[in-house]
Amino acid sequence: MKVTKLAPNFEVNNIKQTVAFYTENFGFKLVMAVPESQDGIEQTFDDSKEYVYAMMQKDSLEFMFQRSDTFKNDVIFSKNLPIGATVSFYMDIEGIKEFHENLKNKNLELTDLKTTWYGMKEFYVKDLNGYILGFAEKAE
């Protein structure tokens, strides 16, 4: 087996709200979305439609978001599990101090920026669905 990519698929309550959250707070861009009718793929949202899936990208990172009802049908192991995280999605970034300062000015749940014993400056953010995002940069 050869692994060529990892793109997490997050179970979410509302696709449009989740896409807005990741766009406004982290600079992700919408790559594609699937409407509730599941009859095609769109590159932008239509205000008159609801969506069941979206893929977003920031630099070389891709996240997928899937509405809970369709997620539980596709990923049957999740049927009786709540939305949220028991794992953090840890990302190496550049410019962590400025990024952390920018997020502090928004109404987000986030930890303080700290330098760890293993030589990383890092902090964590909880998203609107309960997932935990970790951001880190090698300490100087």
CA distances from 139 to 6, 79, 119 (A): 26, 41, 5
The model's pTM: 0.90
More confident residue, 18 or 79: 18
Confidence check: pLDDT of 85 > 80: no
User: H helices within 7-130, ranges in order?
Assistant: 15-26, 68-74, 96-104
What is residue 88's predicted lDDT score, i.e. its pLDDT? 87
Identical fold, 1-80 and 84-140: yes
pLDDT of 18 strictly over 80:
yes
Residue 109: band (very low, low, confident or very high) from pLDDT cuts 50, 70, 90: very high
Is the confidence at residue 73, as pLDDT, over 80? Answer: yes
Residue 1, pLDDT > 90, answer no
pLDDT of residue 86: 77
pLDDT of residue 44: 96
Q: Which CATH class is domain 84-140?
A: alpha beta
CATH for 1-80 is 3.30.720
> What is the residue extent of each domain of the chain?
1-80, 84-140
